[in-house]
Structure 1
Amino acid sequence: MTASTFAASSIDTPLVRRLIAAQFPEWSGLEVRPIEPGGWDNRTFRLGEEMTVRLPSAAHYVLQVEKEHLWLPRLAPHLPLPIPEPLAKGTPGEGFPWHWSVYRWQPGETLAVERVDDVRQVASDLTRFLRALMQADATGGPLPCDHNFHRGGPPAFYDEETRRALALLHGQLDTSAARDVWEAALAVPFEGPPVWFHGDIAWGNLLVENGRLSAVIDFGTSGIGDPACDLAIAWTFFSGEAREVFRNGMALDRGAWARGRGWALWKALIVVAGMTGAPVDEMTRQRRVVDAVLEDHRRFG
């Protein structure tokens, strides 16, 4: 089987067992079981009690493997929360065409309002993490490109896609207001030195334990550039006082927030417009994100 013909549906527990047995026989006696949900960019499996295995689900995610193995150990000492720790890098084999990873298991549950004691504290802890990430040495870091779908670059990369979504949604939401938000995001380009960003700060990549934020995972879209893409969680998860805690803690200028609204709006619009194949409940959730972004623009834009 070649990379061009490989199907993500072929990634299953028997494949992972074969890869481990062939390449890391010292772990071949450990139980392998899938983690649900297993992710979109990668499929994730538990390996014993202390490790996870992550396999890219398509060729365009493979660049993330080398990036994470190179940079995560360098970033970890500078961050106030745990991040993934690569333990081993697998090679193509057993019918799987790409490199893959073994990580140390990170305990915790994905972020949800009912799993935390105080959402405002989560917002504060997250800003502390993101500001530390932004202050890490960016020398030689990966610039926005195909490896992270141009996160950290200008939102204008998705201009055509956003305008297509607006056209599809005409008459279904306030596309005039949404267009104003998008134009505002394009009007204020990032002009500072590139800094580290995560690229996909979302509830599924934030872990909680004992009611507190405990770890940040999945750095596949990370890189150096404009950190505005990390602001989207202000509208996708936070609201009210927690959103204000996050806004104040990030201490970024109005231009960054305009671009951040643009990043959140782009993703929400393409989901609501049915361009991603997302289920109906996700389309409904992203419709609420659009509403939150438009209201935020009316207040602060």
Structure 2
Amino acid sequence: MLREQFPQYRDEPVVPLAGTGTTNAIFRVGRHAAARFPLRAAEPNECKTTLRHEARAMAEFAGHSPVAAPAPLGIGAPGPHFPLPWSLQSWIEGSVATPDNLAASSAFANDIAGLIMRLRHVDTQGRGFAGQGRGGHLPDHDTWMAICFDKSEGLLDVPRLRDVWSRLSRLPAACPDCMTHGDLIPANLLVRDGRLAGVLDTGGFGPADPALDLVAAWHLFDADRRGIIRARLACGEIEWKRGAAWAFQQAMGLVWYYRISNPAMAALGRSTLTRLLDDASL
């Protein structure tokens, strides 16, 4: 498909990448490109519309990011070997972050705070939250959370976790929407020599609750480093706790859902929930 649709890459080696991604199968193409093939069934025209939207968001993100980020290179057509449109983007070098490898790094915490700050200052151009997924009204996720609590019986301390959500989910909105990455989990962050080197999966860049990108604080850092992020961003109590609520909502869906199919994602959920339950500021 690459040879036929992107002949400039006809002689490049194609290598499948093992990883924790749940929405795309990713292949490295030579030294400078990556192909992403959607893993979830979809109507082809809707898939193409989504890929075009993601490409615009990726280009916008790359134009503002303080570190390297992928640039869109093209959208591939379905064919006899794959039934959906797919995408090609530039390759970014770096090692994927983990929940623990830089948890005590003040330098990395400052890098993440700097990234979030830069994104917050991007003009929304009058856009607001699109109304889907995380980043809007916290109680909209009550039904999903009830499913997660039921599915997590026997895996987690569900009564305690229900109590946490009952408090966090009722927090009022703190600030107007601003531009956010929307999914700052370790798998979407690249590091080099202990510093932030790149940001992946930027196709969701858009306006949302400013607290949404604060999920990185609990996904990646210990209490002291979370304090650095909070101070750098001058987060008030409500904004900070809303960040915890979004991290909690995301983590609750990881442990049970990916327990068999993606143990690394399930482990991230457990790690984040542990940090949230141990956080005295909440």
Instruction: Give your verdict on TM over 0.5.
Output: yes
Q: Give, in angstroms, the shift of residue 238 of structure 1.
A: 0.5
Task: Decide which of 38, 49, 71 is 1:56's aligned counterpart.
Answer: 38
Structure-1 separation of matches of 2:156 and 2:15: 43
Task: Decide which of 176, 197, 200 is 1:214's aligned counterpart.
Answer: 197
**Amino acid of the residue matched to residue 246 of structure 1?**
I
* 1:3 matched residue in structure 2: none
**Cα deviation code 1:66-96 (max 9, x no counterpart):** 2221122233232211111111222222342
Q: Check whether the contact 2:178–2:207 (CA below 8 A) recurs between aligned residues.
A: yes
Structure-2 separation of matches of 1:284 and 1:76: 30
Q: Check whether the contact 1:75–1:136 (CA below 8 A) recurs between aligned residues.
A: no
Residues 1:202 and 2:202 are matched in the alignment: no
Residues 1:106 and 2:106 are matched in the alignment: no
**Amino acid of the residue matched to residue 122 of structure 2?**
A
* 1:256 matched residue in structure 2: 239
RMSD over equivalenced CA pairs, Å: 2.8
Q: Check whether the contact 2:57–2:202 (CA below 8 A) recurs between aligned residues.
A: no
Task: Decide which of 169, 172, 196 is 1:186's aligned counterpart.
Answer: 169
> Please, which moves more after superposition, 38-47 or 90-99?
90-99
Cα gap change, 1:270 to 1:95, in 2 (>3 Å): same
Aligned residues: 277
Structure-1 separation of matches of 2:8 and 2:81: 21
Query: TM-score, normalised on structure 2?
Result: 0.85
Identity %: 30
**Amino acid of the residue matched to residue 110 of structure 1?**
V
Q: Give, in angstroms, the shift of residue 125 of structure 1.
A: 0.6
Gaps of 5+ in 2: none
* 1:43 matched residue in structure 2: 25
Q: Check whether the contact 2:33–2:90 (CA below 8 A) recurs between aligned residues.
A: yes
**Amino acid of the residue matched to residue 88 of structure 2?**
V
Structure 1 runs of 4+ aligned residues shifted over 6 Å read: none
> Please, which moves more after superposition, 45-54 or 192-201?
192-201
* 1:246 matched residue in structure 2: 229
Cα gap change, 1:57 to 1:267, in 2 (>3 Å): same
* 1:81 matched residue in structure 2: 67
* 2:277 matched residue in structure 1: 294
> Please, which moves more after superposition, 58-67 or 105-114?
58-67
* 2:54 matched residue in structure 1: 68
Structure-2 separation of matches of 1:51 and 1:282: 25
Residues 1:21 and 2:3 are matched in the alignment: yes
Task: Decide which of 214, 217, 235 is 1:231's aligned counterpart.
Answer: 214
**Amino acid of the residue matched to residue 80 of structure 1?**
P
* 1:8 matched residue in structure 2: none
Cα gap change, 1:59 to 1:172, in 2 (>3 Å): closer
Q: Give, in angstroms, the shift of residue 136 of structure 1.
A: 0.5
Gaps of 5+ in 1: 1-18
